[in-house]
Amino acid sequence: MEQALVVENLKKSYGKFEALHGISFEVAPGEIFALIGPNGAGKTTALRIVATILQPTSGTARVYGMDVQKDAARIREIISYLPEEAGAYKNLTGLGYLSFMAELFASDAAVQREYIQRASDITGLGERLRDKIGTYSKGMTRKLLLSRAVMTRPKLAVIDEPTSGLDVVAAIDIRESIRKTTSEGMAVLLSSHNMLEIEYLSDRVAIIDQGTIHDVGTPQGLKDKYGKANLEEVFVQVVKQ
């Protein structure tokens, strides 16, 4: 089976500073794969390269066999990207925002309606979709943005810090929404510094710090390997080795 994403020896430098030191990992179709680590570890840089926003200094990243540098336009047709600081038009209603985005993604009216309905269902906002986004809480806005990111049924969704700054209830809702979207085979690449949260969401995780991946495995597999109760404790042991 062809992998959704294959990253090999990926490096990224900003002048003399090397943000990524040759990282490698793979993501299978339908898998939720997380890069976990502290701020500044290189997570966002890796995601932006996969999303074709940044160019790598060296190494390769392939989405369903397509190279992020040579085939960027084709890759953008089958992926979606949700950055941590994404925003929405506060003067639009939630439904108006989804309609606007659907028109950008498709010219066929029937397809647009399908996208809007799918996104509306994912948000779980119900009648609040008729209210202006400026009245939404941060959690509600994040649900709206997540639904936009997956409304087209992308083959790979790249999501940076999906629940950053959200309360526990909103974070749980976002996690459940992400998990549901993979049932149709969509792969998800996440980044997060919240290791305990990602432990419950991801199929596999890569521990990254200072631009280097130190280990990859299932949450339970990593806990068993290092004899720890949670991923935070695993991380501390791994990066100190």
Contact status, residue 133 vs residue 145, Cβ threshold 8 Å: no
What was the pLDDT predicted at 138?
A: 87
Q: Which residue has the tokens 């993501």?
A: 27
The pLDDT confidence band at residue 184, using thresholds 50, 70 and 90, is confident
Q: How confident is the model at residue 139 (pLDDT cuts 50, 70, 90)?
A: confident
Q: DSSP states of 116-141 as a string?
A: HHHHHHHH--GGGGGSBGGGS-HHHH
Report the pLDDT value the prediction gives residue 65, as an integer from 0 to 100: 96
Which regions of the chain does DSSP assign to beta strands (E)? 5-14, 17-27, 32-36, 58-63, 66-67, 79-82, 156-160, 187-192, 204-209, 212-217
Contact yes or no for 230/223 (Cβ under 8 A): yes
Residues 197-220, mean pLDDT to the nearest whole number: 93
pTM: 0.91
Q: Which CATH class is domain 1-78+155-241?
A: alpha beta
**Domain extents in the chain:** 1-78+155-241, 87-153
The mean pLDDT value for 26-43 works out to 93
Q: Quick one: which of 46, 26, 15 has its CA closest to 208?
A: 46
